Structure 1
Amino acid sequence: MATHPLPPESLRDLAEAYAGTFKAVIDLGFTCHDEDFALETDCPGWTVKDQFSHVAGVEAAGAGVHDPQVSVPDYPHLRHDFAREIEKAVEVRRPRTGSQVVAELQRLLPDRLAVLAGEDLEPDTVLTGPLGEMPAVDLLALRTVDLWVHEQDIRGALGRPGNLDSPAAALFVSKVLAGFPGRAARKAGLPVGTVVILESTGPVTAREGIRIVAGDDPEKPLAEPLFSGDSDGHGYPESVTTIRLTTEALTRLGAGRKRADEVHYSVEGDDDVARRVLDVLTITP
């Protein structure tokens, strides 16, 4: 998989991507009027203010400041226990104004940067995040992606697109494409011999190709890299489908915020194969 710009991998680069995305979220908050905070976003059940509240809750917990316990109503958008747990940070901030939540984020930023961008931090330093303990390099990647996805949620509601060519954008694109082979093999129901190429046309450009091959279990086909060998040796014909879509469209699908019929994409090959792939690209919980 080739991605341009390259996604951040080192601790330093991830720390810079995290800091830049965190600041972008706060900057968006400063531009919001009261009516902006009430706008619905592509994240089911959440307004713009709720997006800021979620980020504030996660980052506050990372700084060791834990929210008081709160009872969460049975909102229709809560489909599992993890979603209910995440909702607590949003619920506890409902009595606050959007500006107050953004101010909380501004207060948190220096402490979070001091910890996650500190000179004494090593890639394998174990830190506690929203999913439990993990190495610092993994936590920074997780937090950068989460912040960027919610930044895009906010931008979409406000009609202010941006930051689609950032290191955080490249990181999320790389994660969507990394998840594409397994999801295409396990969930898309593609026949053996199918070849699919998935391409992000920009601002982040990336391309990944796979071939569906038979596994040891006939009911569980596998995906192999497209250029790993000559298809003739497999004893089955190939059909090739190329799917092209923008970085924004790809990442909205990858975040589970849009369905295939809600984004623009182009197909060379089999439209049904393309739709099956696009329907299973979501990598967020």
Structure 2
Amino acid sequence: MTGTVHSQIQPYIDAWTHSIESIAELVRPVPAGAWNRPTECPYWSVRDVVSHVIGFECELLGDPRPIHTLPSDLRHMATEHARYVEVPVDKRRHHTAPEVVGELDYTIIRRSRQLRNETRGAQDTVRGPMGRETTLEELLKWRVFDVWVHEQDLRRALGEPGNLDSPGAVVARDHILAELPKVVAERAGAPAGSAVVFDVHGELEFMRTVRVDTEGHGSIDGSVSLGPAVTLTLDWETFVRLTCGRTRAAAVEDRLKTEGDRSLADAILANIAVTQ
């Protein structure tokens, strides 16, 4: 996609386009019975994940929020955010597969046109989900992350692996890495002066070190750490599944190597999900 004058946001627009069009291609031939297949996204089926993607893009198009009352028996509606996200999903639960695919295709056309005609700058303030203010660049980064992660949910559920090294994957990687200092230093309580290494191999390969300073604040960099407190070695897809709350460490032990302080490693792995 071309046309925007903002080179700073074009890579995110391109990555979003690649992932959301991949979702459309993926679900178009899916038989009606498979739309209710569960995904690793907690509580959501294939239909629910696609409905979620449609719902958020419609919101960013300025469409009014659906007027819809959630059933009282949905177990996972514990927070305001969860209820907010569930409304456009639950509203579409009785839509047929052709209806959902048609709405997705039409939403992609509308949203692509909106992005092509975008006149705001990367650092301009915009309204994000739940009315929160953010910058246009941060909003687009978040949409790439969200759409790519849900593309992977759908691929795993449908047995159609792919795009683990796509432009969306790179944006998702950077989004996840930016959250790791908080995971290690704050949630897992890694001691001051310690370092934790994430050694990831596979479609996207990287090694990052999270360092905790004397004040207990975390930072992340690509330099090698001598004598880290913990080293976690795993493949890229498992890293994504863990950090996005799609699985737990105990379920992927065979794909995960842990060295160093076992209790700290367990604390990190118990708190590693960066998604809400």
**TM-score category by the smaller chain?**
0.7 to 0.9
* One-letter amino acid matched to 1:265: L
Show the counterpart of 1:218: none
| CA displacement at 1:210 relative to structure 2 | 2.7
| CA displacement at 1:270 relative to structure 2 | 3.2
Identity of aligned residues (%): 32
* One-letter amino acid matched to 1:100: E
Show the counterpart of 1:248: 237
Show the counterpart of 1:206: 206
| CA displacement at 1:193 relative to structure 2 | 4.2
Q: Contact 1:193–1:212 at 8 Å: present in 2 too?
A: yes
Provide the TM-score with structure 2 as the length reference. Answer: 0.87
Distance in structure 2 (CA, Å) of the matches to 1:213 and 1:122: 35
SS at match of 2:146: helix
Q: Evaluate the alpha carbon distance shift between residue 226 and residue 39 of structure 1 in structure 2; reply closer, same or farther with a 3 A threshold.
A: closer
Q: Contact 1:60–1:108 at 8 Å: present in 2 too?
A: yes
SS at match of 2:195: strand
Among 24, 38, 43, the alignment partner of 1:45 is: 43
Q: Evaluate the alpha carbon distance shift between residue 67 and residue 102 of structure 1 in structure 2; reply closer, same or farther with a 3 A threshold.
A: farther
Q: For 1:1-285, list aligned pairs within 5 A.
A: 10-74=8-72, 75-118=74-117, 120-132=119-131, 133-215=133-215, 221-224=216-219, 240-263=229-252, 264-285=255-276
Q: Evaluate the alpha carbon distance shift between residue 260 and residue 117 of structure 1 in structure 2; reply closer, same or farther with a 3 A threshold.
A: farther
Q: Evaluate the alpha carbon distance shift between residue 119 and residue 226 of structure 1 in structure 2; reply closer, same or farther with a 3 A threshold.
A: closer
Q: Evaluate the alpha carbon distance shift between residue 175 and residue 103 of structure 1 in structure 2; reply closer, same or farther with a 3 A threshold.
A: same
| CA displacement at 1:99 relative to structure 2 | 2.6
Q: Contact 1:71–1:88 at 8 Å: present in 2 too?
A: yes
What residue ranges of structure 2 are gaps of 5+ in the alignment? 1-6
SS at match of 2:203: coil
Distance in structure 1 (CA, Å) of the matches to 2:32 and 2:228: 52
Distance in structure 1 (CA, Å) of the matches to 2:220 and 2:49: 37
Give the CA RMSD over aligned residues. Answer: 2.4
Provide the TM-score with structure 1 as the length reference. Answer: 0.85
Q: Evaluate the alpha carbon distance shift between residue 223 and residue 47 of structure 1 in structure 2; reply closer, same or farther with a 3 A threshold.
A: same
Distance in structure 2 (CA, Å) of the matches to 1:254 and 1:44: 14
Q: Contact 1:197–1:210 at 8 Å: present in 2 too?
A: yes
| CA displacement at 1:47 relative to structure 2 | 0.5
| CA displacement at 1:226 relative to structure 2 | 7.0
**What is the count of residue pairs matched by the alignment?**
266
Show the counterpart of 2:4: none
SS at match of 1:281: coil
What residue ranges of structure 1 are gaps of 5+ in the alignment? 1-8, 216-220, 232-237
**Relative contact order higher in (CA < 8 Å, ≥ 6 apart):** 1
Q: Evaluate the alpha carbon distance shift between residue 224 and residue 28 of structure 1 in structure 2; reply closer, same or farther with a 3 A threshold.
A: closer
Q: Evaluate the alpha carbon distance shift between residue 131 and residue 163 of structure 1 in structure 2; reply closer, same or farther with a 3 A threshold.
A: farther
* One-letter amino acid matched to 2:62: G
Q: Contact 2:66–2:88 at 8 Å: present in 1 too?
A: no
| CA displacement at 1:140 relative to structure 2 | 0.9
| CA deviation map 1:171-211 (0-9, x unaligned) | 11112222112221111133344321012212112221133
SS at match of 2:210: strand
